[in-house]
Structure 1
């Protein structure tokens, strides 16, 4: 089941505050647009199927059908070769606030368009009772 949830992306108030603190470091345009369009909710009210910071997801490339486990993180924790993807990257910005089943879309640095379905959410800090990570 593929769904595009335009306008229904959610973000915790804590993640929003932390990401806005990064604005001084010149956030990429994709992330600024994302932050400006997300609906904010308290951490305790975020649905368990929404990608928040430090969520672990399985994404499936729409073309190749290849699945990959990714963890959305802040730039200082990014290790792409281990699947830790910075929220400042095009992939990371496209995942933030999306729900399981949604299609994340982004452009590579050379301009290629990519898309992947969020097939599963393996871990979300808030769903496990962690409201401060």
Structure 2
């Protein structure tokens, strides 16, 4: 797994995601993949998150390598998912975004036994950068 980029996750995000996973009656392959990703994350205090890293409730511009289309989505918890401009942490692309920094890319399994490489172009909004630690 050394080919995967380093990821950084806030301790607050980690606690909240783990609490949601623990409440699930059974884990899907996508959630198991997210757990594996979280196992290799560097965990830091929310105040120590670099400004260019995707955290929960961040709005991020990204694309899939090999595709010119650029997406702009806010990474949210499943219970906060309300419209198409958001993506759940438990969706394959949502899991891939968490913890990546601008300029990093990550190959991630997608539905139908495919995989795509997600590249982070810009973190437009990050709660930690804005001083908002309790969302």
* TM exceeding 0.5: yes
The one of 44, 48, 53 aligned to 2:51: 48
SS of aligned partner of 1:64: coil
Any runs of at least 4 consecutive aligned residues in structure 1 with deviations exceeding 3 A, and if so which? Answer: none
Q: Which residue of 1 aligns with 2:32?
A: 29
Q: Is there any run of 5+ residues in structure 2 with no aligned partner, and where?
A: none
Distance in 2 separating the partners of 1:101 and 1:34: 18
Tell me the TM-score normalized by structure 2: 0.88
Distance in 2 separating the partners of 1:52 and 1:18: 12
Query: Alpha-carbon deviation of 1:61?
Result: 2.1
Q: Is the 8 A contact 2:108 2:115 kept in 1?
A: yes
C-alpha RMSD of matched pairs (Å): 1.5
Q: Is there any run of 5+ residues in structure 1 with no aligned partner, and where?
A: none
Q: What is the aligned residue count?
A: 128
Tell me the TM-score normalized by structure 1: 0.89
Write out per-residue CA displacement over residues 13-58 of structure 1, whole angstroms, 9 at most, x where no aligned residue. Answer: 1001101101221451111101111111111111000100000000
